[in-house]
Structures are given as C-alpha cells and as structure tokens.
Amino acid sequence: MSHRILLLSGPNLNLLGTREPDVYGTTTLDDVVRTVTAAAGQRDATVTHLQSNHEGELVEALHAAIGSADGLLVNLAAYSHTSVALRDAIRATGLPCVEVHLSNVHAREEFRHTTLTGGVSLGVITGFGLGSYTLGLTALLDHLDG
C-alpha cells in the first residue's frame, strides 16, 4: 500500500552540514531529504518535504496535510520544545506522527529534555543522526501498514 508522508523540518535545519557540526554532524538537509525519500520509495511511499524557519508556515503545512498525507515525520527543531501551536496543529491533523532529532536532546541543555510535540506523536527518536530519520520513517510506515 502506498503512503504519502509529509516530512517537516523546523528552524535552522536549512543550515545542517555547517551549523554546529560537533552537535549535528556534517549531514545536510538535502542529504536528509534524499535519504528519507529513497527509504520511503523502497516501501512504495512518497515524501513531500517542507523546511521553514517560521512557526506559522509549519502550522499551515500541517493543516494542508489533512487529506493529502497519511503520516507525518517531523523534526521541528527548537519549536519541538516551545510550540503549543505546533503541538495543537499535529493533534488537529489526526495523522500519525513520529518526531525525530539528530542529536540526543536528553544529553543536552535541560530545556531540550521535554518536547511539547512529542506528546502528540507516536514516538520520538533522538540521537542517531541521519539514522533517526530512517528509524522514524520505518516506525511510521510500520504503523500505517498496521
């Protein structure tokens, strides 16, 4: 069964590859999108990607996913820890969501230890770099396949 996945990338992820490589590695956002798209293709799924540094644009993308996506794979970056609006938008879609993070948020600053959006997600995968995305995609597609 073919599934449509919305991959959402939050603020500053457009700088991956050069931004704090000691924390985030040297993988670029293009690398992430290519890897997720290829992995999805192996499972007969398609990926639509949006990156934005603007909370409202991410909310609008979630609203637009209703009826056009079967599941959400999100790295909302800093907004994961602060945005009630994105939490509410994920919940409002009624779509299954997996949250991912490149770095281990629990090994970082205390304010990163809680994700508001994780509470409305099937699960949160954190700390495996690019692998967080492929693990998250696998978990999401396994869930969708029932």
As to burial, measured by CB atoms within 10 angstroms (0-12 exposed, 13-18 middle, 19+ buried), residue 42 is exposed
What strand order describes the sheet that includes 45-51?
A: 45-51, 3-9, 71-75, 97-101, 123-126
- pLDDT, one tens digit per residue, over 98-119 is 999 988 776 566 756 578 899 9
The per-residue pLDDT for 106 is 63
Ranges 14-23, 76-85, 134-143: which has the least confidence: 14-23
Band of the pLDDT at 28, cuts 50, 70, 90?
very high
Residues annotated catalytic, as ranges: 24, 101
pTM of the model: 0.92
Residue labelled with tokens 């090994």: 107
- pLDDT, one tens digit per residue, over 45-57 is 999 999 999 999 9
